[in-house]
């Protein structure tokens, strides 16, 4: 058994998590740069100042990807490397870095897939109110246009925003990620609306300005709920929970973000639940937000269930397998998540992230043996293949991540990569899973069965 002939196999990364080169070559400060310098936010007081030093080692990293047989590489652009103050003067050295990266990828036979925003918001704009500022969506479009003007002669695949559920929910609702704030519901709702406007306006701009015919989407996370069994009732309950709306967790809810894009309005439950805390929706906003996209990019790691303080949740059980993050191993999430999304929104699904953190180290033979990750990939990809066989249109799979990197508030302890990074020396070692993924790509998925 194989995947479709045009299936996109690849791996992903994010600028702040791998690039390093803190304030180098004219780069401005983003909120992670700023708040990682404060104590108490990140494990061990770590930061992304150096990270994987990808800024200086990208050519080496691209050659490594080529050796691994990677066909598509999803990476993000650092907004403040392009516009140090978020708006205004363009940093040509920043543009040159990404232009050189794209050229290196193409020369290696790797398709670049650009994410315009992966959480590293300009600190100068944060000081002006950030996503709460009514001008924030226009700031984003102006930044995105600089990137599109520079790269769209060679880049086809564009993702506007990565996981708004997380950078809004964790950054401004529960205070776990930069800028580590806890804002009231009304402010959160308005922020979300402005992020959606930024997405829609940018989709429109890319369509108008791209030099190559673009394929546009985003990379959302999704609180995928899987059925407790295969009965029609259990499936329907899981579907409803996957698109539920609650006041307590509305910033994380799939329908809150995706319904405006695909269905032209917020879910009806939002109006009755949030009431006067709904965002200020101006005439024409929903039309802008619902600009047509080409695919639904989604980051899925595990299925989620209602928390129960007195017992295990539905997808957990005593002694269940867990990744280094503590997340349950639930391969069926890659069947039901794409299936539910495709049924509701009707767009091809791109798995823009999936992978696991594991306790990896270089062993006595000089290699990194990670059989748990190989088993994880087999299980999840089998479920994805099953979804495709049952009619879900899936265009590709991006493993997260190409290499170990800065895992946000967890610092460098959690290792998601196909490539091991020794942060003291920056030496890279391809893990067993990296070589396994090479065979998956070479055989178009046949080796997972």
Give the total residue count for the chain: 449
Determine the pLDDT at residue 224: 86
Q: What is the reported pLDDT for 229? A: 85
pTM over 0.75, yes/no: yes
Res 84 pLDDT > 70? yes
Range of lowest pLDDT (29-43, 112-126, 134-148, 313-327): 313-327
Are residues 340 and 224 in contact, defined by beta-carbon separation less than 8 angstroms?
Answer: yes
Enumerate residues 6+ apart whose C-beta is below 8 A from 167. Answer: 119, 121, 177
Are the C-beta atoms of residues 443 and 380 closer than 8 Å to each other? Answer: no
pLDDT at position 401, please? 98
Tell me the mean pLDDT in the region 80-93: 98
What would the two tokens of residue 107 be? 């020369």
Give pLDDT tens digits for 233-255: 989 999 999 999 999 999 999 99
Among the listed residues 218, 241, 246, the one whose alpha carbon sits nearest the alpha carbon of residue 228: 241
- Average pLDDT of the chain is 96
Helix (H, G, I), strand (E, B) or coil at 157: strand
Q: Are 202 and 146 in contact (CB under 8 A)?
A: no
Say yes or no to pLDDT of 315 above 70.
no
Q: pLDDT at position 314, please?
A: 63
Buried b (16+ CB within 10 A) or exposed e, 60-86: ebbebbbebbbbbbbbbbbbbbbbbeb
Token digits for 342? Answer: 């495709």
Residue whose entry in the numeric block shows the structure tokens 């673009």:
214
Give yes or no for residue 306 having a pLDDT over 80.
Answer: no
Contact 28, 123 (CB under 8 A): yes
- The yes-or-no verdict on residue 308 having pLDDT over 60 is no
Contacts of 179 (CB under 8 A, 6+ apart): 31, 34, 35, 121, 126, 130, 171, 172
pLDDT at 26 over 70: yes
Lowest mean pLDDT across 108-117, 305-314, 400-409: 305-314
* Interval 365-407: pLDDT, tens: 999 999 999 999 999 999 999 999 999 999 999 999 999 999 9
- Nearest alpha-carbon partner for 40 in 409, 444, 429, 298: 409
What is the structure's pLDDT at 83?
98
Q: Does position 75 have pLDDT exceeding 80, yes or no?
A: yes
The pLDDT-based confidence of 311 (bands split at 50, 70, 90) is: low
Q: CA of 362: how far to CAs of 155, 273, 300, 310, 419, in Å? A: 36, 51, 28, 39, 11
For residues 122 and 115, give the distance between their C-alpha atoms in angstroms, rounded to a whole number.
Answer: 16
Q: Which residues contact 411 (CB under 8 A, 6 or more apart)?
A: 42, 43, 44, 46
pLDDT tier, 223 (very low <50, low <70, confident <90, very high otherwise)? confident
Q: Which domains does the chain have, with CATH numbers?
A: 8-448 (3.20.20.80)
pLDDT above 70 as % of the chain: 98
The catalytic residue positions are: 163, 353
Q: In the structure encoding, which two tokens stand for residue 23, read together? A: 């304030």
């Amino acid at each position: 058994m194989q995947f479709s002939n045009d299936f996109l196999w690849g791996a992903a990364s994010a600028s702040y998590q791998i690039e390093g080169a803190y304030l180098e070559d004219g780069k401005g400060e983003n909120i992670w740069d700023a708040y990682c310098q404060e104590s108490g936010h990140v494990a061990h007081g770590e930061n992304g100042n150096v990270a994987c030093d990808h800024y200086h080692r990208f050519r080496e990293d691209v050659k490594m990807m080529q050796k691994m047989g990677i066909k598509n590489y999803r990476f993000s652009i650092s907004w403040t490397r392009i516009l140090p103050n978020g708006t205004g003067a363009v940093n040509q050295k920043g543009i040159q870095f990404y232009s050189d990266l794209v050229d290196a990828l193409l020369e290696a036979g790797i398709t670049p897939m650009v994410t315009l925003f992966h959480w590293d918001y300009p600190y100068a704009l944060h000081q002006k109110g950030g996503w709460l500022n009514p001008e924030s969506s226009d700031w984003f479009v102006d930044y995105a246009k600089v990137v599109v003007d520079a790269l769209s002669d060679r880049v086809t695949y564009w993702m506007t925003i990565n996981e708004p559920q997380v950078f809004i929910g964790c950054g401004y609702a529960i205070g776990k990620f930069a800028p580590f704030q806890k804002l009231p519901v009304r402010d959160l709702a308005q922020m979300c609306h402005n992020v959606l406007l930024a997405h829609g306006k940018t989709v429109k701009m890319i369509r108008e300005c791209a030099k190559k015919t673009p394929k546009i989407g985003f990379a959302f996370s999704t609180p995928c709920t899987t059925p407790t069994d295969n009965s029609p009732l259990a499936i329907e309950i899981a579907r409803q929970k996957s698109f539920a709306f609650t006041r307590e967790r509305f910033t994380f809810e799939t329908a809150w973000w995706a319904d405006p894009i695909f269905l032209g309005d917020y879910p009806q439950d939002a109006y009755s639940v949030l009431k006067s805390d709904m965002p200020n929706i101006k005439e024409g906003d929903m039309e802008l937000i619902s600009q047509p996209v080409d695919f639904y990019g989604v980051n899925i790691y595990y299925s989620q269930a209602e928390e129960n303080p007195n017992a295990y949740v539905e997808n957990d059980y005593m002694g269940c397998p867990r990744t280094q993050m503590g997340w349950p191993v639930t391969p069926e999430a890659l069947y039901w998540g794409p299936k539910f999304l495709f049924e509701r929104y009707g767009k091809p699904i791109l798995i823009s992230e999936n992978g696991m953190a594991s306790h990896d180290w270089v062993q006595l033979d000089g290699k990194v043996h990670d059989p748990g990750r190989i088993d994880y990939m087999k299980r999840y990809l089998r479920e994805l293949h099953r979804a495709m066989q049952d009619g879900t249109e899936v265009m590709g799979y991006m493993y997260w991540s190409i290499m170990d990197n800065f895992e946000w508030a967890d610092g460098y302890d959690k290792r998601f990569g196909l490539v091991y990074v020794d942060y003291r020396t920056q030496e890279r070692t391809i893990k067993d899973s990296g070589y396994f993924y090479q065979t998956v790509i070479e055989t178009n998925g046949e080796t997972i069965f």
